Amino acid sequence: MFKLKLPTDPRWANIAEGNIEEILTDHAWCEQKAATNAIGLITMLPEYPEIVTELLAIAQEELEHFNQVHEIIKKRGYTFGRTRKDDYVNELVQFIQKGGNRDDLIVDKMLFAAMIEARSCERFKVLTENIKDEELKTFYRDLMVSEANHYTTFIGFARQLGDPEKVNKRWEEWLEYEAKIIQSYGKGETIHG
């Protein structure tokens, strides 16, 4: 569905399961950042009320996910740590086109959001298929569906706001770029690490 060029090695789930507290804290902050990103997109698109409405729903859903992860952390007696730097996302940010016109920037930011949702969904699938923790298997299966829906929404907005043929070409470029950088990840106790 996402056409990611390099799948996550299933052994990453073993790394993640080795420190669930760290994974959950990192995951919670990823959800908060996703909500913030959706709100940032809203500020760029006031002339599109239907898109704003959908982005508001995504932001609210991401905050609900943040809350759900936070509740799991509390229930398990873990410590909710400080926000984490996400090197993967920071590398993706570097690929957003600089200069150009506003419409191209908005399309690229939609593709940026779609890429993060696609990889997050793929990582949640790896967790679902490979960890022993039954509660988290179910939790990540549910989130996997949500992330897939967000991916579809962001790709759809990019195609709505830009020329679909150009958007599809640019998405291929995003996929190639992401394949290069993801090679450095998959060895850490973070959602994208």
- Give the pLDDT confidence score for residue 170 in this predicted structure: 97
Give a yes or no: residue 36 inside a domain. yes
Domain count, the chain: 1
- Give the pLDDT confidence score for residue 191 in this predicted structure: 87
- Tell me how far apart the terminal alpha carbons of the chain are, to the nearest angstrom: 22
DSSP state of 80: -
Give a yes or no: residue 190 inside a domain. no
Q: How many CB atoms lie within 10 A of CB 189?
A: 18
Give a yes or no: residue 188 inside a domain. no
Q: What is the CATH number of the domain that holds 21?
A: 1.20.1260.10
Is pLDDT larger for residue 98 or for residue 34? 34
pLDDT greater than 70 at residue 1: no
Give a yes or no: residue 2 inside a domain. no
Give a yes or no: residue 4 inside a domain. no
pLDDT greater than 90 at residue 159: yes
* Out of 84-88, 165-169, 183-187, least confident range: 183-187
Give a yes or no: residue 50 inside a domain. yes
- Give the pLDDT confidence score for residue 177 in this predicted structure: 97
- On average, the pLDDT of the chain sits at 94
Give a yes or no: residue 32 inside a domain. yes
CA distance 139 to 10: 18
CA distances from residue 50 to 32, 55, 107 in whole angstroms, order as listed: 23, 9, 16
pLDDT greater than 80 at residue 2: no
